[in-house]
Structure 1
Amino acid sequence: MTPGARVAAQIDILEAILSGVPAEKALTNWARGNRFAGSKDRAALRDLVFQALRCRRSAGAWPAPQSARAWAIGTLRAHGEDPNEFFTGIAHAPAALCADDVTPAPSDRDRLDLQDWVIDLLTQQYGAEQTAKIGAVLRHRAPITLRVNLQKTTRAQLQAELAKAEIETTPNLASDTALTIVSNPRRAVLQPCFEQGWFELQDAASQAVADAIALNGRVLDYCAGGGGKSLALAARSGSKIFAHDISTARMAEIAPRAARGGHDIEVIAPQDLAKSAKFETVVCDLPCSGSGAWRRSPEGKWSLTPKDLEAFVRLQRDIIAKSITYLAPNGCLALITCSIFEAENQGQRQFVSENFPDLTFCSTEQYLPSATQDGLYLVIFKKGI
């Protein structure tokens, strides 16, 4: 596909998204209906669509675009590209630009590519300068980072192995196990060393958070999901990790991932957790707004409302209260979010301190979104001090 043909396909997918189809489904539907497109075309098209979603406001498409065509034009202009080079009407490219193809020039506030209420809230928390930095980071594609499984290889050995497939990597300073991919990122999981368990895909901040949790005795990953943190904890400690999630379906990949990495992870179904003995370490990767990782799920940047944020805070407090019941005396509770909102972070730290007097605050770490990592928050408490 020519660059212009890719933009034409982007417009088709944006039209589906505007009709209410989720981005991932819209991309899948397009690929099924256009099987002539190769893997490189599909990957490039995905990048174009997610670029448009991340930069919706500076593209003049928020709260609503004039059309999917206007959205695509505005996205190109927002990234300093000339739409005339893509809108040629030649070889399946969109029709050439005309007088009606006018997109508004973005204001300074538009260039933050955030909703107004989010800008106001972040400005209260971090100030205007830091908010502008956060907005700028979230406009761009997230880095792809690997977690090296030190039980099977070293960071240098993995770098050398990936380099054979022209996959260039660089050490990420957030963690001793982190390698950020510089070139050919989509080739990584196709390499034999992935199937051999040498690495997993995991953001650098997530790795740093796992590094910061002291592991003592029995360890429970209470909101395990797909098991990313369970795997990281198992790889670092070499000990058994217990994984639980309210949804057993979300934990379906834990067993095969653990087998690939050579880890001992026992999945505990919700109905069986109450029968289990207490745990010396309980890790809660809480469901949250996902605002620290909006680059990866940009639809959430535009769909989140203040009421949604309040609902997440209530849900988190319910989960925190339940998780504490599984904590052994002198045990450690680690709460994690991938959020940049104080209500989900420092606010929950205060909630625990005020409502659970047998828990003592130990430490906290915060990672804001940057060119090398997502935004994450960690707070650790000790029971019985």
Structure 2
Amino acid sequence: MQFLLFHIESVLTTYKGNPPLSVFLKAYFRQHPKLGSRDRKAISEAVYIYYRCASAWDNGAPVLPVIKTGMQLCGSDNPFLDRVLQGVAAAPVPIVEAGFPVPLSAGMSAGGWLASLRRQPRLFIRVRKQVDKVMVLLQQSDIDCHKEATGWPAGQERADDCLSLKNGAPVDRLLEEEDYVVQDWASQASIQGALDLMRQAGFVPQQVWDVCSGAGGKSILLKDKLPAFRLLVSDIRESILHNLKMRFRKYHLSGLEMKVIDNTATQQVAAALEGRLFDTIICDVPCSGSGTWARTPEQFHFFEMEQLQKFAALQYPIAANALSCLAPGGFFVYITCSVFVAENEAVVQRLMEGRPGLQLLHSGIIDGISRGADCMFVAVFRNQLP
């Protein structure tokens, strides 16, 4: 087992926070092809446990004892990893105050949020058709799943097409790829709740701009719910837009226009859109990702305050430039996957101060902790100017 301990320490010594840990591990395992699947799983789990737990020891502690204790703290049930660490002495369980040096958004408990980072979240899929049939198929294959209600505020959620499964469930081997989308519960809820507000106002989107679209999960959800509207997606990364285009083809969706735009650059936005207005704008801005750190604990481990300042400096100009293209009566949806005030309420306040006639309809955290999901923040505005 000594060689596995060597690889665990080797990964933790060489990894510096970039690229994403999952990408780094794949490359590391390609360089060491003699490692079997059980070995790779044990190494990966040990590394993830370390990044979930190491910061709890204020004065530091040796890597392997931290992992040994971390198995208990994280609820690990990997018997092979337990055998690998059999001769390692556990580190004393740390006594740490449940606090964090960054103010959290209203409704977030620092203790609850920090505790949630020690557990791997669940897998969520959005079933595009015949959800009950899909559930039966999964259950017949001994895959435990249940519907999870989406939308907000509390009491108005609907359990329709979101399924919650154990992380790692082999849905790709059982379902046709065009029949479902892997998308966290909080991400689904962010758009479903905004759509509910629009419906309550008797509003149906016709011209939609998805700013900083990424791979397009929210646009795909919108197109599945309301296929007729015209959609512009933009991002600073041409490669991610190509991925989005491929996903639209896979799901047989149409009505897509793409542009590479740096939304922090006011003149570039104006030149790219040439005075166009949109009745619905989805603005999911780059952020610290703190609401998703349970999935990416390396980001939690390597977090520095300078990163938060960098993201906060991007978010307001991105949103403000997008708002300049909002039609009278239109809806603007501001989204982050952050739990920090600086990226959430603080930006909302600046947008309200800088845009007369902008009405705030909803603002708050989408808390997925109790569901084993991510946390996100969403604010929905309406342009009341004629």
Bucket of the pairwise TM-score, normalised by the shorter protein: 0.7 to 0.9
- For residues 183 and 77 of structure 1, the distance between their equivalents in structure 2, rounded to whole angstroms, comes to 19
Residue 108, structure 1, aligned to residue 107, structure 2 = no
Residue 248, structure 1, aligned to residue 238, structure 2 = yes
Counterpart in 1 of 2:120? 141
Counterpart in 1 of 2:190? 209
Provide TM-score, normalisation by structure 2: 0.81
Q: CA deviation at 1:172?
A: 0.9
Structure 2 residue matching 1:32: 3-state secondary structure: helix
- For residues 311 and 86 of structure 1, the distance between their equivalents in structure 2, rounded to whole angstroms, comes to 38
Counterpart in 2 of 1:178? 162
- For residues 85 and 246 of structure 1, the distance between their equivalents in structure 2, rounded to whole angstroms, comes to 43
Counterpart in 2 of 1:73? 68
- For residues 329 and 140 of structure 1, the distance between their equivalents in structure 2, rounded to whole angstroms, comes to 44
Deviation per CA, 1:160-197, whole angstroms, max 9, x where unpaired? 23334433311112352210113751x11233412xx1
Paired residues of 1:281 and 1:331 also in contact (CA < 8 A): yes
Residue 308, structure 1, aligned to residue 307, structure 2 = yes
- For residues 78 and 135 of structure 2, the distance between their equivalents in structure 1, rounded to whole angstroms, comes to 39
Structure 2 residue matching 1:350: 3-state secondary structure: helix
1:108 maps to amino acid? V
Deviation per CA, 1:119-173, whole angstroms, max 9, x where unpaired? xx34x9558xx22111111211011100111xxx222122123334433311112
- For residues 121 and 185 of structure 2, the distance between their equivalents in structure 1, rounded to whole angstroms, comes to 11
- For residues 32 and 163 of structure 1, the distance between their equivalents in structure 2, rounded to whole angstroms, comes to 34
Q: CA deviation at 1:275?
A: 3.8
- For residues 84 and 188 of structure 1, the distance between their equivalents in structure 2, rounded to whole angstroms, comes to 24
- For residues 64 and 144 of structure 1, the distance between their equivalents in structure 2, rounded to whole angstroms, comes to 32
Counterpart among 44, 47, 55 of residue 46 in structure 1: 44
Paired residues of 2:74 and 2:118 also in contact (CA < 8 A): no
Deviation per CA, 1:206-245, whole angstroms, max 9, x where unpaired? 1111112235111111110111111111111123432111
Counterpart among 199, 221, 230 of residue 210 in structure 2: 221
1:103 maps to amino acid? A
Quick one: structure 1 residues 5 and 146, their matched pair in 2 at CA, closer, same or farther if it must change by over 3 Å? farther
- For residues 79 and 226 of structure 2, the distance between their equivalents in structure 1, rounded to whole angstroms, comes to 55
Structure 1 residue matching 2:334: 3-state secondary structure: strand
Counterpart among 129, 142, 145 of residue 169 in structure 1: 145
Quick one: structure 1 residues 250 and 144, their matched pair in 2 at CA, closer, same or farther if it must change by over 3 Å? same
1:270 maps to amino acid? V
Paired residues of 1:258 and 1:265 also in contact (CA < 8 A): no
Provide TM-score, normalisation by structure 1: 0.82
Quick one: structure 1 residues 44 and 188, their matched pair in 2 at CA, closer, same or farther if it must change by over 3 Å? farther
Counterpart in 2 of 1:357? 356
Counterpart in 2 of 1:24? 22
- For residues 260 and 37 of structure 1, the distance between their equivalents in structure 2, rounded to whole angstroms, comes to 34
Quick one: structure 1 residues 164 and 217, their matched pair in 2 at CA, closer, same or farther if it must change by over 3 Å? same
Deviation per CA, 1:26-49, whole angstroms, max 9, x where unpaired? 412331133244445534543332
Paired residues of 1:244 and 1:270 also in contact (CA < 8 A): yes
Query: Unaligned stretches of 5+ in structure 2?
Result: 151-158, 199-203, 262-270
Q: CA deviation at 1:53?
A: 1.1
Query: Unaligned stretches of 5+ in structure 1?
Result: none
Counterpart in 1 of 2:267? none
Q: CA deviation at 1:369?
A: 3.9
Counterpart in 1 of 2:173? 190
Deviation per CA, 1:280-314, whole angstroms, max 9, x where unpaired? 10000011111111111112213333332222122
RMSD over aligned Cα atoms: 3.2
State the identity %. 23
Residue 154, structure 1, aligned to residue 130, structure 2 = yes
Quick one: structure 1 residues 364 and 78, their matched pair in 2 at CA, closer, same or farther if it must change by over 3 Å? closer
Counterpart in 1 of 2:317? 318
Q: CA deviation at 1:65?
A: 4.1
Q: CA deviation at 1:322?
A: 1.0
Paired residues of 1:73 and 1:103 also in contact (CA < 8 A): yes
Counterpart in 1 of 2:381? 381
> Which of 171-180 and 228-237 deviates more?
171-180
Residue 262, structure 1, aligned to residue 252, structure 2 = yes
Quick one: structure 1 residues 265 and 42, their matched pair in 2 at CA, closer, same or farther if it must change by over 3 Å? farther
Structure of higher RCO (CA pairs closer than 8 Å, 6+ residues apart) = 2
Counterpart among 219, 224, 233 of residue 230 in structure 1: 219
Quick one: structure 1 residues 136 and 211, their matched pair in 2 at CA, closer, same or farther if it must change by over 3 Å? same
Quick one: structure 1 residues 289 and 236, their matched pair in 2 at CA, closer, same or farther if it must change by over 3 Å? same
Structure 2 residue matching 1:170: 3-state secondary structure: strand
Deviation per CA, 1:76-124, whole angstroms, max 9, x where unpaired? 3544789999677xxxx46834xxx573430132xx5x7x414xx34x9
Deviation per CA, 1:244-287, whole angstroms, max 9, x where unpaired? 11211222211221122222252422368424732110000011
1:217 maps to amino acid? Q
- For residues 329 and 148 of structure 1, the distance between their equivalents in structure 2, rounded to whole angstroms, comes to 34
Counterpart in 1 of 2:287? 288
